[in-house]
A and B are shown apart, each in its own frame.
Chain A
């Protein structure tokens, strides 16, 4: 480089940082690591000036790094620099999330090779009424037998449950029992999941007030 341009640059205030050991950067964290030692003479004589110079050099180097190496994108509210992923290894706050524990049924289905049924909607065609009705819930198809004024008595079932039970209520009771059974199974699965992959927030109890 010709000497005239160097003189010109010095006049113009230098914008490049020249250090014996080049600085390292972690642009994901906007961080510079300057491993050059602080100047021992100015450090002992005028500390603040020494630190100020070191800080200025770091700031200049960082800004240069942002403006020269990072891809820029302009938006309506300014120019954006796209940051790479951070490289300095820093600890996480919480462990990696665990995969959801499979339920007992899912385990069994996998063992037996049972594929999940395709969902074919909530509605089903009722031929008697000639319209589409929900499979369960309000006016659901699964409650069809419950309002019958005459019911067939299953001798075997009646012996099991005792003869004093109202045979007309049997259908509803059975349905309610199925719901309860399902809830029991759900709770069991949840318990198994908690013991397996302890969910932190739940383990620690209530959400505290700030």
Chain B
């Protein structure tokens, strides 16, 4: 049976409405969870990712007996309870040490999951780098280096997942001074010896120096966290669900306006249709000499004279 719930007061009504599907969606929230056993490293990694994701993130501290790839129902439950469509689950076991599982939901059902192992030897937390840090809720620059993110399905999923994860709010305009930091993902090409290369995540503060030219010289300074990921288990999105999730609302499509075009240079060209002009009624320059006489005879005389002149001119030309 479907349980219908009527909000009892205005506040809970607003809270329910905020969770309803929207035409223009809010930023996705993230929930950080840990499994029954975690390592210091995964906890630290989660804290760092959480601090990059603030304020659109919730972090739970209690242990949860969840195995996402065996039964994802508890994750779906947490997703619907907290209205979060991203879940980050930390775990640590002998078989899969230092494990982070990134899960994405659509309509509070698991869309896709990506299990990443963090390399213990190269991990450096946010606090390791003694640099200035970006303000909370700043929109980062993102970059993906390596053709592998376009060629191999698991890496494509990684790109889609992390672009979605870190992109922040979709905004119309951004203060140029707010471009403070960049999250950079890179991976070498896959080879015979190493078919699944490590993905490197590096976070840099951006510094702009005067270059003497119009554009500034950009330098980067690593601010952490530094993480190297190995892709472990993956749950690909269900095709039908993904198709549903990628639907674009009709109402947001720009209506093409008639007779307005933009050419290749970017100039706007409009076409206007006017009725046929009546030249007979058109007002030309007024002159006393051209004024119509009241009598008809005068008019005739004038035309006769004109004709004579024309004829004489023709004769002259012929001769």
Contact = CB atoms under 8 A, between A and B. Distances in A.
Interface stretch (A53-61, A135-143, A170-178): A53-61
A91 B86 CA distance: 12
A36 interface: yes
Given A93-B85, A97-B21, A58 B5 contact: no
Contacts of A72: 176
Contacts of A30: 139-142, 167, 174, 179
Contacts of B104: 91
Contacts of B85: 93-94
A86 B172 CA distance: 10
Contacts of A205: 3, 5
Interface residues of B, number: 80
Given A95-B244, A201-B20, A32 B211 contact: no
Contacts of A35: 146-147, 149-150
Given A37-B189, A92-B247, A210-B58, A31 B141 contact: yes
Interface string A189-200: 011001100111
Interface in B1-56: 2-5, 12, 15-17, 19-23, 25-26, 28
B209 interface: yes
Contact of A79 (B176, B209, B219): B176
Given A58-B184, A201-B17, A201-B20, 10 more contacts: A13-B211, A36-B147, A52-B220, A54-B145, A79-B175, A81-B173, A94-B85, A95-B106, A97-B23, A204-B108
Contacts of A78: 175-177
Contact of B16 (A31, A77, A97, A207): A207
Q: What are the 10 tightest A-B residue pairs by CB atom distance, in nearest-first order?
A: A91-B245, A58-B143, A208-B81, A94-B21, A55-B184, A201-B19, A60-B218, A31-B142, A80-B173, A32-B143
B175 A77 contact: yes
A47, A88, A202, most chain B CB atoms within 10 A: A202
A91 B242 contact: yes
B220 A59 contact: yes
Could you tell me the dominant secondary structure of chain A's interface residues? mixed
A63 interface: yes
Nearest to A40: B188
A206 interface: yes
A109 interface: no
B171 interface: yes
Contact of A31 (B163, B171, B187, B189): B163
A156 B170 CA distance: 68
A32 B144 contact: yes
Interface string A159-186: 0000000000000000000000000000
A12 B212 contact: yes
Interface string B150-188: 100000000010011001001111111101001010111
Q: Which of the four size classes fits the interface of chain A?
A: 35 or more
Nearest to A50: B186
A34 interface: yes
A63 B3 contact: no
Given A43-B188, A90-B164, A96 B179 contact: no
A46 interface: no
Contact of A95 (B21, B81, B139, B242): B21
B143 A97 contact: no
Contacts of A191: 4
Interface string B203-236: 0101011011101111110100000000000000
A33 interface: yes
Contact of B146 (A16, A34, A73): A34
A54 B186 contact: yes
11 contacts: A12-B211, A12-B213, A13-B211, A30-B174, A32-B141, A34-B145, A54-B145, A58-B184, A63-B206, A88-B163, A191-B4
